[in-house]
Amino acid sequence: MKNHTKVYLNHFGYTGEDFIPCETCGARAVDIHHIEARGMGGTKKGDTIDNLMALCRDHYKAAHGETKTYLHSDVMQTIHDNFINLKTK
């Protein structure tokens, strides 16, 4: 299991067998995605919970520009911040 996936699962108390919802639509997440991509010039955030979000296949593709609707990192960050706030209440 990749380090960033472990960071995400541990933060929310998930195991690898749990249903992990896409933070955008609630469908089954298939990827723990870096909001600020590591390979795009790097980021200081790296594998921290504020830079990781669970995405379903459709939203993962949108985040990578593989669909007509692009999921911009600013939008992902807002969605993720709201998700964290809901989970910590």
Cα–Cα distance for residue pair 40/24, rounded to 1 Å: 22
Question: Which residues have a Cβ under 8 Å from the Cβ of 39 and sit 6 or more positions away?
Answer: none
pTM of the model: 0.86
Give the pLDDT band of residue 40 (cuts 50, 70, 90). low
Tell me the HSE value of 17 on the side-chain side, using a 13 A CA sphere: 0
Q: What is the mean pLDDT of residues 53-57?
A: 97
Residue type for position 19: F
pLDDT greater than 70 at residue 76 = yes
Q: What pLDDT sits at residue 89?
A: 65
Give the pLDDT band of residue 28 (cuts 50, 70, 90). very high
Q: What pLDDT sits at residue 68?
A: 84
* Three-state DSSP state, 74: helix
Integer angstrom CA distances of residue 59 from 13, 28, 44: 23, 11, 24
